[in-house]
């Protein structure tokens, strides 16, 4: 909606474009227009104090402008300084503070927090999306975080509805709500959380969380036969989704049940053997160790065990088990010249592409191979499934000693687990 000023507008009030950085602009950036008050500082020739007003209603903006004028004159045109506690920030500065906090950088040691880089980046990404919505109406380097109101939340709600499915929508709003909780609880900003109450999206848990044998084989066949080119967006950008290691990657994901970063990091010398000859992977439990990190260092003492059953052994033999058994080469794509994150993303996106090319209608992605694995493991292991899924382990495991409970689960898994039951 285009903003307008009445004929007898309040002295000093302007229409401001945050994109052009001009008052009373002639541009058509209407979504970036706001009312702004420019208040002449008494006793000076050209000095002014200005404030971008939050309301797009002229009558409400006038009330806000008069309050700002009264407060500024009362303080003799001096800017109110931030307290030592840092309890007043602009939107931009508040996000920077939150980034530092999630990165373990806070002036109060007892308030420092360490999270994974991926978690930190995701939280900040959602906060930046919120800031981008605010930019349409305000200069976020000037707008105080305490002035964020329900209209701003509503604008972001509309934006998120158009960009996310229900699950990601809820994650997004939860992340921004946590951002404001941080400002209130950690930084002691005196405000109410504008994201405290909102209607979250209902997430329906589908029944099709696992793949059947025929569906998986159809996806593998698609890698060899389907069109590898994926067309993106309005510009019809074309991208080749085929890589020679894809089928091996999909099989490793299915037959180990490991998470993405665990699969791409598997090495031949991660394979160990029990006294009776049972083969298994003994790898670092990256998720648990990351949660236990301190002083920005991963405490690497939790291990994860993956039994090598007949299906998995057959695949490993195809990949060179007997020749590479003692090497520290990566099992998947050993000649790699790309980062692990890039490799993970390639495999994930390619799986989705070939799943679509194979006309598999289930709403599944690469992570559902892990769910398929655990479903079949549960059919054999029952309550011991958690031992192999690494959701819970007992005791500290020495390199040359395996807890008998874990060893028993590994041996049973290696002997009895059959993915797809065949």
For tokens 């800031």, the residue is 131
Asked whether residue 373 falls in the same domain as residue 242, the answer is: yes
Low-confidence ranges of the chain (pLDDT < 70): 1, 77-87, 204-208, 286-301, 378-417, 421-422
Q: What is the pLDDT of residue 222?
A: 96
End-to-end Cα spacing for the chain = 63
* Domain end call among 185, 202, 235: 185
CATH number at residue 305: 1.10.443.10
Asked whether residue 146 falls in the same domain as residue 252, the answer is: no
Among 266, 345, 379, smallest CA distance to 312 is for 266
* Domain end call among 169, 185, 201: 185
Answer yes or no: is 190 within a domain. Answer: no
* Domain end call among 165, 185, 205: 185
CB 229 within 8 A of CB 239: yes
Asked whether residue 272 falls in the same domain as residue 331, the answer is: yes
Asked whether residue 152 falls in the same domain as residue 262, the answer is: no
Asked whether residue 278 falls in the same domain as residue 137, the answer is: no
Q: What is the pLDDT of residue 112?
A: 73
Answer yes or no: is 278 within a domain. Answer: yes
Asked whether residue 53 falls in the same domain as residue 121, the answer is: no
Asked whether residue 302 falls in the same domain as residue 243, the answer is: yes
Number of structural domains, the chain? 3
Answer yes or no: is 200 within a domain. Answer: no
CB 123 within 8 A of CB 131: no
Answer yes or no: is 7 within a domain. Answer: no
Domain limits for position 112: 91-185
Cα 161 to Cα 14, 154, 156, 197: the distances in Å are 32, 11, 8, 16
Among 312, 316, 317, smallest CA distance to 417 is for 312
Answer yes or no: is 42 within a domain. Answer: yes
Asked whether residue 176 falls in the same domain as residue 218, the answer is: no
Answer yes or no: is 158 within a domain. Answer: yes
Asked whether residue 170 falls in the same domain as residue 261, the answer is: no
Cα 374 to Cα 14, 303, 315, 335, 355: the distances in Å are 62, 18, 19, 30, 20
Does the predicted TM-score (pTM) go above 0.75? no
Q: What is the pLDDT of residue 166?
A: 87
**In whole angstroms, what separates CA 278 from the centre of its chain?**
38
Answer yes or no: is 59 within a domain. Answer: yes
Asked whether residue 113 falls in the same domain as residue 44, the answer is: no
Q: What is the pLDDT of residue 230?
A: 92
């Amino acid at each position: 909606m285009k903003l307008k000023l009445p004929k007898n507008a309040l002295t000093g009030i302007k229409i401001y474009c945050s994109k052009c950085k001009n008052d009373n602009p002639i541009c058509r950036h209407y979504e970036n227009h706001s009312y702004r008050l420019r208040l002449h500082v008494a006793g000076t020739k050209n000095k002014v104090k200005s404030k971008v007003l939050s309301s797009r209603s002229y009558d409400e903006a006038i009330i806000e402008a008069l309050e700002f004028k009264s407060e500024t004159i009362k303080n003799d045109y001096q800017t109110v300084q931030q307290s030592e506690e840092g309890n007043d920030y602009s939107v931009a500065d508040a996000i920077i503070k939150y980034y530092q906090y999630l990165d373990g950088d806070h002036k109060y040691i007892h308030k420092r927090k360490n999270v994974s880089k991926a978690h930190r980046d995701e939280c900040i990404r959602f906060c930046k999306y919120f800031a981008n919505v605010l930019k349409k109406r305000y200069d976020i380097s000037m707008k105080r975080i305490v002035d964020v109101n329900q209209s701003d939340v509503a604008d972001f709600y509309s934006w998120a509805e158009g960009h996310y499915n229900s699950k990601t929508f809820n994650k997004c709003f939860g992340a921004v709500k946590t951002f404001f909780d941080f400002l209130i609880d950690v930084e002691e900003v005196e405000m109410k959380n504008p994201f405290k109450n909102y209607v979250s999206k209902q997430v329906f848990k589908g029944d099709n969380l696992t793949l059947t044998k025929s569906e998986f084989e159809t996806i593998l066949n698609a890698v060899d036969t389907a069109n590898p080119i994926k067309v993106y967006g309005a510009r019809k950008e074309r991208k080749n989704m085929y890589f020679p290691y894809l089928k091996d990657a999909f099989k490793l994901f299915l037959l180990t049940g490991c998470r993405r970063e665990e699969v791409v990091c598997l090495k031949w010398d991660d394979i160990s053997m029990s006294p009776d000859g049972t083969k298994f992977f003994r790898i670092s439990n990256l998720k648990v160790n990351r949660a236990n990190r301190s002083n920005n260092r991963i405490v690497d003492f939790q291990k994860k065990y993956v039994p090598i059953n007949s299906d998995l052994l057959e695949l490993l033999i195809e990949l060179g088990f007997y020749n590479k058994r003692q090497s520290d080469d990566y099992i998947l794509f050993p000649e790699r010249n790309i980062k692990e994150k890039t490799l993970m993303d390639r495999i994930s996106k390619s799986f989705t592409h070939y799943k679509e090319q194979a006309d598999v209608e289930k709403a599944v992605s690469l992570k559902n191979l892990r769910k398929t694995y655990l479903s079949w493991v549960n059919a054999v292991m029952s309550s011991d499934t958690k031992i192999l899924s690494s959701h819970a382990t007992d005791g500290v495991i020495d390199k040359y000693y395996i807890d008998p409970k874990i060893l028993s689960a590994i041996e049973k898994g290696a002997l009895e687990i059959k993915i797809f039951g065949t």
